Copies of this chain bind each other. A is one copy, B any other.
Amino acid sequence: MSETDRIKEFTDFRLRMNERILSEENQVVRRFFALDTQTYRPGALSLQTKELLGLVASMVLRCDDCISYHIAQCKEAGVTRAEFFEAFSVALVVGGSIVIPHLRRGVDFLDRLEGQGVHAEVPEHKHD
């Protein structure tokens, strides 16, 4: 499977399941998803800072999908490689060596994003 296809598969599953989940009648779940989207809108803090906060939170909680998602969002928001690695260093020192396998996969994802030479195909409305 090509690099583009792997990122596409990643995005497609997220989008398909988000739709599946939001089609249910549960209002709490729907509102949570809407709130999640609202959280990252620029305000007192910039979009870039908020996405970096989401990225570091995802790294110390060690969720690969969330990490990939926020890496793509950060990249879209203009985060540079040096900035990424400083955010990674905070996550690594706060969260410890247990974060390393997720860092490896996160850097691999970032490399693949950059290798494409294109912006990541991330959904317009985010849900984590």
Contact = CB atoms under 8 A, between A and B. Distances in A.
A83 interface: yes
A31 B36 contact: no
Given A39-B89, A56-B53, A56-B56, A63 B62 contact: yes
Interface string A90-126: 1111111111110111011001000000000000000
B66 A98 contact: yes
Interface string A40-76: 1001110001101110111111111110000000000
Contact of A82 (B44, B62, B66): B44
A92 B21 CA distance: 12
A94 B93 contact: no
A54 B18 CA distance: 24
Of A32, A40, A66, A111, the most chain B CB neighbours within 10 A belong to: A32
Given A63-B101, A97-B36, A101-B65, A86 B128 contact: no
A38 B17 CA distance: 24
A102 to B, nearest CB: 8
Interface of A: 13-14, 17-18, 20-21, 24-29, 31-33, 35-36, 38-40, 43-45, 49-50, 52-54, 56-66, 80-83, 85-101, 103-105, 107-108, 111, 127-128
